[in-house]
Each structure stands twice: as C-alpha cells, then as structure tokens.
Amino acid sequence: MVMMNESSKYWKLVRIDSADQGRGYKLQSIPVAQEFFGENFPESTNHLVVREDRVYRQLFNLLRETADDEADRFEAELCLRCYVSYPILQSCMRRVRLFGSANGFTYRDLLSFVLNDDGKRFNGGFVPFSLKILHSFSPDQTCSLGGWVDLRVKRNPDLNRFLLEQGLNFTSDWALLNRANPRYLAGIDRDLVEVFHLVYRRDRRQQNRQGTQQKCLDPTNEQLQEMMQWLRQRQVLVDSTSVLNQLKRLAQVLRQEDIWGRRGFPVAEPLETTDPNTGETSFKDIPDDDSTSDIEASERSELQQFCYEQLLHSLDQGIRQAIGDRVHSLKQRPRYTQLAHQVKPALRLLYFEGKSQEQIALMLGMTNQSQVSRILNPKELLVTIRQRTLEALLHDILEKVRELKIVDFPVSPDYFSNLMQQLDTFVDEQVFQAAAAEMNAGRNRSMESLFAQRLRQILNE
C-alpha cells in the first residue's frame, strides 16, 4: 500500500485516477485541510504517534462544538473525509480479493461506486459516499471508524449490484447450488439443495474434464425427474418444471447471500455483539498483532545497508532460478515437455524485441494459444522472480543476522514474519512496483525498468 506518515491521512484525499497504467487512484493534497489539521493537532505533525481513534473522535467533537463556525466545520469534516478515503480503498481491495480473484475485474472497477469525493464543499446536490458514512457514524459506539467504513462499503447497493452482475458471469447457478451447504437452509430450500446434491453432484463428478473449463450444464430432464422423485420421498410434491424454477430462485438467494451476507440485510457481522439492554450492535475489534521484536537502530541501518548491497545480486539470482523453475515445471508435464526449450527464446523476443504474444507464437511455430500462455505468462514469471529474489535476500539476511548475533537462532516465527514483511516492502519499492507498472503499460512500453534490464542481462548469459 501507500507508505506515508500518519498525519497526511487527514489532509490527503484518495481519489480515482483514470490514467491507464496507473494504480487507479492518486493522493490529492488539500492545503486547507492540512492547515487546519496542523493548527489543531500539533503533536501529530511533529511525528509523535497519536492513537488514531483519539484523533478522529476529536475531529468529530470539533464538528459538533463548532456548529456556528461554518468554515471550521467544513475543514474538520474535510479532514475526516480524507481519513475515510483510505479504508474505502482498502475495502474495495478486500472485496476484490474475495470475489474478483481471476474473475477479470480488479479493485479499480469498484472505485467509482464508493470513492467519489472530490474534496469540495457540499452544495446540496450529489452526496459523496464518504459523507454518508460520516453522517451515519456514531463516535460513541465501540466500533472503529475504519470498521464502520468497511461495513458501509460492503453494503453499498451500487457496488453490490456490480458484484452480482460479475458473479452471474463468473459462476453458474448450478455451481452455486453445488457448493451450498444445506445445513444453513431450512424447509423446502434445504430439501431442494440436498436432493440437487444427490443427483447433480454425482453426475458432475463423472464428467470427463478436458481442461476446457466446462461450465456446469443446465440440469437435464432426467436429472430433474430424479430430483422430483427424491423430493416425493421427502413428502415434497412438485412437478419437474417447478423443481427447475425453484432451484433457480434458490440460486438467486444464494448469490445475494454471498454478497450481502448470509443473515440478511443489515447483517450481523462476525464478532459482533448485541447489547441486550439497548439492542445496539457493535464490533469487537480484533486486537492487532503486536510486533514483538525490536531491532536496534544501528543494527537496523547496517541491515538496511546490507539489503541494498545484496539487492542486485539477489535479483539476478531470482531471475535465473525463476527461469529454471519455469523450464523445469514444463518438463514435468507430459503435455508441455516439448515446449520447455522455447522458454528463453520466447522471453528474448518479448524483452529484447518487444514482440506481442501473437507474433511470438508465430515466430516459434506454435498454433495453440494456451501453449504461448504456458511458456510466456509474464505475470507468473514476475511472481516467481519476486519469490526467488526474496528467498535469496532472506537467506543472506538471516546469515548476516546470525553473524551479527542480533537474535538467537533458530529465529522466532514472529521475528521472521516481521523480517519478511519488511523485505516485501523493500523489494517492491526498489524493483517490483516499477516492474508491475511496466507490465501494465501495454504495447508501447519501453521496458527500461531495473527489472527488465537485469532480465535482459541474464537472458544474454
């Protein structure tokens, strides 16, 4: 994510950025908010860490107290509008994680529904989503503002309509019914699903898979007849057309539940508690994992220095290994063995001559589209290179840590986890953010990133 110091969250607004190869968002400074924040929260701007919830609760107080001073109200609200734009973005990313993986849409597609604040005065027309969130938040409840934002994003009707449409394209009714758990249903719905499972799942397992991603077919008449008979045994009398319609209806219900949550809208969240006296529901925040290990400042800078020194070497090693991995894994699959020796030539065509996949396929004599993808798959290669680079770095750093006797060996899992995360950030900042951006740039990319340069170097070996 974006690395920045704490207080800028209160005066930099996350906004949609529709530039093609960008991340889809940008940070816009709002001077008026910055000034206001600096005046009212001097300790934050001096880089003293203040608890987040104290800051935003204070801002809410200012909103209430300065009811007369319109300018102050606007500015306090502006700070809050900036603050919530970050969790809005993060919620979109989370939703995509759950529903978008390899579905063909990314968090960028969700932003327009919820990240629509332009940072200007509200003049009675369009209400940005951030304002709706702020106006519905009660600072007295135990739920954090971030948690509230997440809940509101998850319940945004426009966003959910989009997810539903995408889901319709991605998952068939029958797959949805297949994976449904009858225990969460009651009455006829439960019978329908159980009976569906008996017949449809059985036949689905028998299907001969050709690797063509065969969608679940509509139930046949025979299948429906069989289901009908099972239902009869359970004292449920329907004709076979009704069975089909009922199944489709149920599939719609399941789709809605996937997106809105199982228990209806508004839904009970996990770890939500209801106060029996007031009937109010609030969240139990999951406590943050404390980072337990503390590296001395001097040791940290020595390690940092070491990281920089080792980076190129590790990257080179990573590239070599990843290419080797690709070749090896192709050789393992009988279907693709003969393609293994085409890996390097294909990569050279891509990274030296900037050829497109179609051109590469032609030049290497391949007719099958999936073959090209198997060999080239630059994204997968990038993932593997990143992994191997991190492995090389981790290995060297652990050696160094051992040498410098910074911690006891074997290292504790928490220490190792912290190290992993720090190195993640490091390599992404130094190499892989640029590499990913370059890969997104499409046909006219120049491919001069550090990553591309080292890759070409290695390909020439």
Partner 1 sequence: MSTHLDITGLLDLQTLQESVILLEPEHFDRATQLSRSATNEPHQWRSYINGLALYGFVDWLEARAADLTPLQPQSVSVLDAVCNLAVGDFTLCLIVTESVAEELVTVPTVVELPEFSAHLYVLLEVQEEQEQIVLRGCLRYDQLLHYQQTNHLLAQPDQTYTLPLDWFDPDSSHLLFYLRFLEPSTLALPAIPSQLDQVPSLSLPQSITEGLRLPRLNQSIINVWNWSQNLLDATAQSLLWSMPQPLTPTFAMRRSPDKVEAALQDLQHQGIDLPPQAHYAHTTLEGTSFQFCTVTWLTSTDQPSQEWALLFILVAQPGKVIPVGTTLQVSTSSVLADTVLAEVTLETMDLYLYVLVEGNQHEAFTPTILPPNAVAVTLPTFTCYPNSAP
**Min dist. Cβ of residue 117 to partner 1 (A):** 22
Distance, CA of 355 to CA of 363 (rounded, Å): 10
**Min dist. Cβ of residue 74 to partner 1 (A):** 34
**Min dist. Cβ of residue 386 to partner 1 (A):** 6
Distance, CA of 167 to CA of 331 (rounded, Å): 36
Q: Is the dihedral of CA 182, 185, 186, 189 positive or negative?
A: negative
Contacts of residue 447, Cβ cutoff 8 Å, sequence gap at least 6: 351, 354, 438
**Min dist. Cβ of residue 427 to partner 1 (A):** 10
Residue identified by tokens 């304002």 is 131
**CA distances from residue 424 to 83, 96, 296, 396, 429 in whole angstroms, order as listed:** 25, 21, 20, 15, 9
Q: For partner 1, which is the closer residue by CB, 6 or 428? A: 428
**Min dist. Cβ of residue 212 to partner 1 (A):** 9
Q: For partner 1, which is the closer residue by CB, 7 or 384? A: 384
List, as own/partner pairs, every contact residues 297-305 make where C-beta atoms lie below 8 angstroms and the sequence separation is at least 24, other chains included.
299/404, 299/406, 302/404, 303/397, 303/400, 303/401
Q: For partner 1, which is the closer residue by CB, 171 or 314? A: 171
Q: For partner 1, which is the closer residue by CB, 47 or 209? A: 209
**Crossing angle between the packed helical segments 343-351 and 297-332, to the nearest 10 degrees:** 120
Q: For partner 1, which is the closer residue by CB, 5 or 21? A: 21
**Min dist. Cβ of residue 187 to partner 1 (A):** 19
Q: For partner 1, which is the closer residue by CB, 440 or 457? A: 440
Q: For partner 1, which is the closer residue by CB, 366 or 390? A: 390
Q: For partner 1, which is the closer residue by CB, 136 or 373? A: 373
Distance, CA of 267 to CA of 109 (rounded, Å): 25
**Min dist. Cβ of residue 277 to partner 1 (A):** 22
SS3 track for 88-130 = HHHHHHHHHHHHCCCCCCCCHHHHHHHCCCCCCCCCCCCCCHH
